[in-house]
Amino acid sequence: METNAPKRPTLADVAREAGVTHATVSNVISGRVHVAEATRTRVEAAIAALGYEPNLVARSLVSRRTMLLALIVPRITNPFYAEVALELEGRVAEHEYHLVICNTRNEPAEGRSQLQRLSRRWIDGAIVMPGGVDAADVDAVSRRGLVVVPCLWAEEARQPAMPGVDLDFAAGGALAATHLLGLGHRRLGMIVESRPDGCIAHVRRVDGFRAALAQSGVEIPPTREVTGDGTLDGGRAAAELLLRQPNRPTAIFATNDLMALGVIEAALDQGLPVPAALSVVGFDDIPLARHVRPRLTSVAMPRAELVTSILHLLLPTLGGQRLARERVLIPPSLVPRDSTARVKNGSHRKAVDMSG
Amino acid sequence: METNAPKRPTLADVAREAGVTHATVSNVISGRVHVAEATRTRVEAAIAALGYEPNLVARSLVSRRTMLLALIVPRITNPFYAEVALELEGRVAEHEYHLVICNTRNEPAEGRSQLQRLSRRWIDGAIVMPGGVDAADVDAVSRRGLVVVPCLWAEEARQPAMPGVDLDFAAGGALAATHLLGLGHRRLGMIVESRPDGCIAHVRRVDGFRAALAQSGVEIPPTREVTGDGTLDGGRAAAELLLRQPNRPTAIFATNDLMALGVIEAALDQGLPVPAALSVVGFDDIPLARHVRPRLTSVAMPRAELVTSILHLLLPTLGGQRLARERVLIPPSLVPRDSTARVKNGSHRKAVDMSG
DNA sequence: CTGTTAGCGCTTTCAT
DNA sequence: ATGAAAGCGCTAACAG
């Protein structure tokens, strides 16, 4: 059975070719030690002649750095995570790093196994998005030396002292509420993604939404708050529940864009034009949000800043420093588009309890 | 400066704890050599006590396998590639492999650099999608020992002898043509993605489309064939060109779904209902295709089979076998949805040349 | 400045 | 069945 690997030249081969020792070759490559101009050119010629390339595996063994980072997400097919992955990969490639993608499919068992496998691989750091990863597992593996940066975990969901980068979800919810209030909406519905893993990022969003509403004396009865599974179809199903109610809301806030898109579909299916008869606000501002009709109003998470903050936390650890016990909070922003509009007066005929 | 790494136990530590040599520990872990029941349990106890985990880096250095695979794509944010990545990651994880994602952003320089960096890392194999990777670079790096599986490169675009897995793009185009012909359409437009890298996968699609049309005596004049940049906005712009023509087509075939979605948007913007006034067929069958309104008729690429074929090619090489010089051709299928309909008779007033 | 030496943590003959 | 020893390809002291 013929093997596929044409043996690659090693430092020793180059050294022999150049008539020096492998240590000298190593020195000219790393540049950390001065080597005479004459021998340097000889070595460089040998490197070129043999087409030598350093072996990163051997290098990792002694340097204890693999130049490997991992991104753990529920599914890379989620457009938001794909955007983050793209941005992240581009940024770390500048530092000669590679990015490993791990999908947990929202299964804690998967997340645990991924974390453990990454740990054995001695990756230099893992960025963990919520969904399918238990905080306890993160804690266990980071205690063993793996550098983990939880990202977008609502703060209460993790160990109090655990660093990481978050978005200020509550502020985002408040932004959506303020926007809708400003358009005159008073009868509001909410669709919140329920997460089996106990991650409460979505709960924070509705909390912020509700709190901002309360400040204006507007309340949301339990019947106007339903849960969805985070998918477009889930959002549609949830919206059908909301829209079939006798006194249906004039506006709906969904805690992610996919569900908000489902809301729009459900509304159109029932002959309710958006935004004329129903305003819809999403969360995440996925690229698709501006490509559907009507274009979706959404709360945007600044991805570039997110990645910058992640790297700000991660890069120092790669020099051997301990992970800063910092928690970065990134403020979202609202992107108004065509799925929200001023409420129609006619919709208010039953809203006798309006307090202004 | 305190370091972040709590020194992990090694084979030697376990050996000391168990009162054996590290070779014996290695044997109980690998299971390749018989070790007495008594010592085995002692070793296992030591492993558990110390929480030992094998170091994959050291293992790779001697085994010459990194358990690392790479997927090179233009952008992971492309939904089709994200789907492939998800499927691929899941399948290789079963074999204890990890997946590295590389984005070329359609820049050949990026692709080359990615390939070279991966080569230095001794990954076990790279799956390369078209866009931003030159065939010559693939050739160069695979000559150096990197196992590369080109995927979805139209066959002419690569070295004749280069193995890989392809979709039968021409057959897909023919499928679209047959579908439209069956619905009575005779005045057809095409939007083809033009690729700076010389990849002709999209050209194959329109070729197949045109050939099938020709068999029924239908031709497409040059004015009804325009190029797009592969994005939704690009598709929209291209469609505007097509729809502003005096004798506009009754159906449009776009070589990818994103552009097809742009076509629908352009049509609706001009007050042309889809499919009543215009039928639209896409290519790729991205998940979104069934979520927009009208749901998009599309040519589907069977992702699972694609991944299966990739692994079929790749896995044997991981055992040291040479990459099979095989080229797998996967047939697509047509998924009819709501963006195509029987042509209205009124649209045919000028189509005197119909030959039936 | 360059060579010598010693590992990094593991697998793999080869003795015993 | 276990131990001893060599070596994967590289970096990092330390000599000379």
Residues 6+ apart with CB under 8 A from B338: B275, B293, B294, B295, B296, B297
Residues of chain B contacting residue A322, judged by C-beta atoms under 8 Å apart? 2-4
pLDDT score, position B306: 93
Residues A112-137 pLDDT 10s: 999 999 999 999 999 999 889 998 99
Q: Which of these, B136, B79, B131, lies nearest to B105 by C-alpha position? A: B131
Beta carbon of B59 within 7 Å of strand C? yes
Contact B75 A86 (CB under 8 A): yes
Chain C bases closer than 7 angstroms to a protein Cβ: 1-5, 7-13
A330 contact B CB<8A: no
Give, in Å, how far the C1' of C15 lies from the CA of A188: 81
Mean pLDDT, chain B, whole residue set: 89
Q: Which of these, B275, B252, B228, lies nearest to B176 by C-alpha position? A: B252
pLDDT band at B124; cut points 50, 70, 90: very high
Say how far residue A271 (Cα) sits from the centre of its chain. Answer: 35
Mean pLDDT of A317-337: 86
Residues B157-195 pLDDT 10s: 555 667 889 888 999 999 999 999 999 999 999 999 987
pLDDT band at A348; cut points 50, 70, 90: very low
Q: Per the structure block, which two tokens stand in for A49?
A: 């002649």
Residues 48-87 of B with CB under 7 A from strand D: 58, 61-62
Mean pLDDT, chain A, whole residue set: 90
Residues B210-264 pLDDT 10s: 999 999 999 999 999 999 999 999 999 999 999 999 999 999 999 999 999 999 9
Mean pLDDT of A10-35: 92
Size of interface A-B (CB pairs under 8 A): 163
Structure-derived torsion over alpha carbons of residues B315, B321, B324, B328, reported in degrees to the nearest 10: -10
Name the packing angle between helices A257-269 and A232-243 (round to 10°). 50
pLDDT score, position B155: 61
- Quick check: B127 and B99 in contact, CB under 8 A? no
Beta carbon of A27 within 7 Å of strand C? yes
- Quick check: B344 and B186 in contact, CB under 8 A? no
Beta carbon of B16 within 7 Å of strand C? no
Residue A81 has a CB neighbour count (10 Å cut-off) of 24
Interface test with A, best of B53, B101, B104 (most A CBs within 10 A): B101
Beta carbon of B36 within 7 Å of strand D? yes
**pLDDT surpasses 50 at B349:** no
Q: Per the structure block, which two tokens stand in for B157?
A: 């675009």
**pLDDT surpasses 70 at B350:** no
Residue A84 has a CB neighbour count (10 Å cut-off) of 26
pLDDT score, position B41: 92
Residue A8 has a CB neighbour count (10 Å cut-off) of 16
- Quick check: B44 and B35 in contact, CB under 8 A? no
- The stretches of chain A forming alpha helices (DSSP H) are 11-18, 22-30, 37-50, 56-63, 79-93, 108-120, 135-143, 169-182, 201-215, 232-243, 257-269, 303-318
Pairwise CA distance, residues B238 & B249, whole Å: 13
Pairwise CA distance, residues A278 & A106, whole Å: 32
Residues A83-109 pLDDT 10s: 999 999 999 999 999 999 999 999 999
Pairwise CA distance, residues A356 & B14, whole Å: 72
**pLDDT surpasses 80 at B348:** no
Pairwise CA distance, residues B323 & B313, whole Å: 7
For residue A325, the SS3 value is: coil
Residue B155 has a CB neighbour count (10 Å cut-off) of 17
Q: Which of these, B356, B228, B182, B347, lies nearest to B276 by C-alpha position? A: B347
Report the residue of chain B nearest A84, measured CA to CA. B77
Residue A272 has a CB neighbour count (10 Å cut-off) of 16
* Residue B97, CA distances (Å) to A114, B89, B94, B238 in order: 10, 8, 7, 42
pLDDT band at A156; cut points 50, 70, 90: low
- Quick check: A84 and A310 in contact, CB under 8 A? no
Of A49-63, A73-87, B47-61, B191-205, the least confident: B191-205
Query: Which has more pLDDT, B257 or B154?
Result: B257
Contact A322 B4 (CB under 8 A): yes
Interface test with A, best of B3, B4, B50, B317 (most A CBs within 10 A): B4
Interface subset of B 242-271, CB within 8 angstroms of A: 261, 265, 268
**pLDDT surpasses 60 at B355:** no
Contact A53 B116 (CB under 8 A): yes
- Determine the length of chain A: 356
- Quick check: A13 and A52 in contact, CB under 8 A? yes
Residues forming a β-bridge with B328 = B165
Pairwise CA distance, residues A114 & A209, whole Å: 35
Q: Tokens 């691929």 appear where?
A: B88
Examine residue A336 and say whether the peptide bond preceding it is cis (omega within 30 degrees of 0). Answer: no
Beta carbon of A5 within 7 Å of strand D? no
pLDDT score, position A296: 97
Percent of residues, chain A, with pLDDT higher than 90: 72
Angle at A301 between CA B70 and CA B88, to 5 degrees: 20
Q: How far is B154 from chain A (nearest CA, A)?
A: 25
C1'-nearest nucleotide to the CA of A21: C3
Q: Which of these, B278, B230, B237, B279, lies nearest to B255 by C-alpha position? A: B230
pLDDT band at B354; cut points 50, 70, 90: very low
Contact A322 B2 (CB under 8 A): yes
Beta carbon of A30 within 7 Å of strand D? yes
Pairwise CA distance, residues B162 & B135, whole Å: 10
Pairwise CA distance, residues A10 & A58, whole Å: 11
Residues of chain A contacting residue B120, judged by C-beta atoms under 8 Å apart? 53-56
Beta carbon of B55 within 7 Å of strand C? yes
Q: Tokens 């000219």 appear where?
A: A28
- Quick check: A40 and A28 in contact, CB under 8 A? yes
In degrees rounded to 5, what are phi and psi of residue B70?
-125, 145
DSSP-based helix, strand, coil % in chain B, nearest 5: 45, 15, 40
- Quick check: A338 and A289 in contact, CB under 8 A? no
Beta carbon of A61 within 7 Å of strand D? yes
* Sheet with strand B125-128: strands edge to edge: A148-150, A125-128, A68-73, A98-103, B98-103, B68-73, B125-128, B148-150
Q: Per the structure block, which two tokens stand in for B309?
A: 């074929």
**pLDDT surpasses 50 at A147:** yes
Q: Which of these, B161, B101, B109, B134, lies nearest to B323 by C-alpha position? A: B161
Residues of chain A contacting residue B2, judged by C-beta atoms under 8 Å apart? 322
Interface subset of A 135-194, CB within 8 angstroms of B: 143-145, 147
In degrees rounded to 5, what are phi and psi of residue A25?
-60, -45
Beta carbon of A36 within 7 Å of strand D? no
Report the residue of chain A nearest B100, measured CA to CA. A100
Contact B86 A96 (CB under 8 A): no
In degrees rounded to 5, what are phi and psi of residue A327?
-125, 115
Residues A216-239 pLDDT 10s: 999 999 999 999 999 999 999 999
Pairwise CA distance, residues A192 & A255, whole Å: 5
In degrees rounded to 5, what are phi and psi of residue B230?
90, -10
